[in-house]
Structure 1
Amino acid sequence: MAAEEFKLKPNVDDTRLTRPVVGIDHNGCSVNLDVVEERPLTLFLNGQEIVTNMTIGDYPEYLAVGYLLNQHMLRPDDEITEIDYDDELETVIVRTARETNYEGKLKKKTRTSGCAQGTVFGDLMEHFEEIELPQDVKLKSSWIYALSKKINMAPSLYLKAGAIHGCVLCEEDRPLIYMEDVGRHNAVDKIAGYMFMEKLSPENKIFYTTGRLTSEMVIKTVKMGIPVLISRSGFTAWGVELARQVGLTLIGRAKGKRFVVLSGEQRIEFDANPEDVLDESRKHARKSEE
């Protein structure tokens, strides 16, 4: 049975996520527009304060769990006993059956290229080389074109207000979980948290992002066990090197009828004629510039 498309997606009608403002345009005329909200969210693991992230504020539980997983503060076999979110205090507390103490890890920080609080704790490469991605996964080029069209035409906070990144968990040509946030790492963490809490397998999944294919993006995708990463944007050299190291299929500059593969090309079945694919409209072609 095929998975439901866009089972979870941005709620463009949620008034908490954007704010209407009035400004002056280049002609000196008054303009009304929506801008994306940023609000702090302080994360606790059991009794220990871990980090404060700037976020748009939706799905705080998924964001908290995904962040902890990607920082190796939650283990894949950990039992979460309770998650408490307080909107007024802007805090989320994740409680586990296992006792935790990460005082030493919190002292070691690495500044990454991600925007909006792109800080990770401990060794960025922790356990990375131990991960084995499935090699028998196939990816049809027709799926790449279908996903790009469906995702870029879907209602989103980007199309409403801009200044935001999007990440989508997909299966074949179907977008399943669509998350947005001011930092792409937050959008990734929300999806990681969703997969953990809903017990969703990474097998045969595709990760799609509007952001750059940096080392951080590659590492987080690999740690989630997802074998394919697609972006509308370009690559960094270290991101490509890491993808090749573990056999991740890495596809960038996926816009309209074009895309470039720099790693894991053996998984791709070229079943579509690019000449049959329409180029993007100007409105959607700008999506990856932010």
Structure 2
Amino acid sequence: MLFLQRTIDDSRLCDASVPNRRTRSPAPDRPDSPRRVKNLSAADADGDVFPAAVLDEPRRGRPGRRIDGRQPGLRRHPPYRRFRWGTVPVFSRAHLGCPRGRTRRVDFGRREGQSVTGPLPLAQEVPVELMANGDRVAVLMCTPCNLDDLAAGHLFTRGMLRDPSRVLTIGACADLRVMTVTAPGAISTDSLGLGQVIASGCGSASIIANASALGTVPPGFSVDLETLKAWSAAMFRAAVLYRQTGGMHCAAIALPAEAPVPAGPAASLSIDGAPDGASYFVVREDVGRHNAVDKVIGRAFVDLADFSHAVILTSGRIAADMILKAAAAAVPVLVSRSIPTTTAFELAMAAGVTLVGRIGDKEPIVYTCPERIR
């Protein structure tokens, strides 16, 4: 074995005239090379590079890498993550930022006047801008998880998108703050309230304004009450964020065993592992209950599910906008562990949607169209 020994001149270690790490003078400031940071207010014309914002502070460390001949310090725009329908797993959305239970160390007071610092669970809520063919549709206050399903379901339940086969791509910015849907000629923007901010605690006012165009869900579908109880229990077992934080909503969409099998490219991922009595089962979570409903409807819309045999289950109370979403998709049964509002009850009566409340109780309440419940 060969050993290599490095020879060191000891005289250099003792010679104060030789500059070393301790004796050399600090590097002079370089005012001509200021530190640059991202300016998120605007992008270049090509949309992939943010301009730099010049600060008065000197640059520290190595200069930034040159990108395509541009000045040092410039960084590229976070790339869009695109995918085609059916190529993304339903239960594995790490690329779309499916969050786990969030905790943050905060100070909170007690009645005794003492303050304690510790991790507390928080429900994640961020504004996500939804763009459709270059038009700003809405800004959704939501949980940045399964955003592709949320975009598809929101456009579908608002009547702006009817044919999933014409959707080319859905792109999510790397920071999950912008969703872009590309479907040339398939998205109608002749809708009320484009560009509005939709809070997580309530639905869209434009959807309520379109209640006059509410259709009627055809009869003919029925489901067993015990089956609904089993599906509701399965939904809560699959709601991971709901259990971790206690501040999330969850929703599920289920098809009974006798329903036609969805023909979407990724539908098999929602068929495997379905609870007893269901041939198709999808669970989604969000800080807003109507967002969770949009997510499950969007997933079933992509999977080409037959909504005339579908059941939607939710953890929150049934509000008016949820009835309109179910009626827009022609879903006959809507189930909740809570109760409906008065407006939701009236809209369900007009649309022919079966409402089942208090599904976790020993005796659930069937509010409307009881002929569908066996």
Normalised by the length of structure 1, the TM-score is 0.77
Shift of 1:85: 1.4
Matched, 1:22 2:105: yes
Give me the whole-angstrom Cα distance separating, in 2, the residues matched to 1:127 and 1:15.
35
191-200 or 99-108: bigger deviation: 99-108
Map 1:49-128; keep pairs closer than 5 Å: 49-76=136-163, 79-88=166-175, 90-98=177-185, 102=189, 105-106=192-193, 115-116=200-201, 118-121=203-206, 123-125=209-211, 127-128=213-214
Shift of 1:167: 0.8
Shift of 1:16: 3.3
User: SS where residue 284 of structure 2 aligns?
Assistant: strand
Give me the whole-angstrom Cα distance separating, in 2, the residues matched to 1:38 and 1:65.
19
Matched, 1:43 2:130: yes
The equivalent of 1:195 in structure 2 is: 300
Q: 1:208 to 1:155 in 2, by over 3 A?
A: closer
The equivalent of 1:152 in structure 2 is: 236
Map 1:1-290; keep pairs closer than 5 Å: 16-23=99-106, 24=108, 26=110, 30-76=117-163, 79-88=166-175, 90-98=177-185, 102=189, 105-106=192-193, 115-116=200-201, 118-121=203-206, 123-125=209-211, 127-129=213-215, 131-133=216-218, 135-172=219-256, 173-174=277-278, 176-269=281-374
Cα offsets for 1:209-241 (capped at 9, x unmatched) = 111111111111121111111101112112111
Shift of 1:31: 4.3
More strand per residue: 1 or 2? 1
How many residues align? The count is: 258
Aligned residues of 2:126 and 2:141 also touching (Cα < 8 A): yes
Shift of 1:89: 6.3
Q: 1:242 to 1:10 in 2, by over 3 A?
A: farther
Shift of 1:119: 2.4
97-106 or 241-250: bigger deviation: 97-106
Aligned residues of 2:239 and 2:285 also touching (Cα < 8 A): no
Gaps of 5+ in 2: 1-88, 257-276
Give me the whole-angstrom Cα distance separating, in 2, the residues matched to 1:8 and 1:80.
17
Cα offsets for 1:1-54 (capped at 9, x unmatched) = xxxxxx956989x77343222355758555433322112211111111111111
Give me the whole-angstrom Cα distance separating, in 1, the residues matched to 2:101 and 2:191.
37
Give me the whole-angstrom Cα distance separating, in 1, the residues matched to 2:246 and 2:210.
30
Q: 1:95 to 1:8 in 2, by over 3 A?
A: closer
Aligned residues of 1:166 and 1:187 also touching (Cα < 8 A): yes
Give me the whole-angstrom Cα distance separating, in 2, the residues matched to 1:108 and 1:86.
18
Give me the whole-angstrom Cα distance separating, in 1, the residues matched to 2:360 and 2:134.
45
Aligned residues of 2:253 and 2:297 also touching (Cα < 8 A): no
Gaps of 5+ in 1: 1-6, 270-290
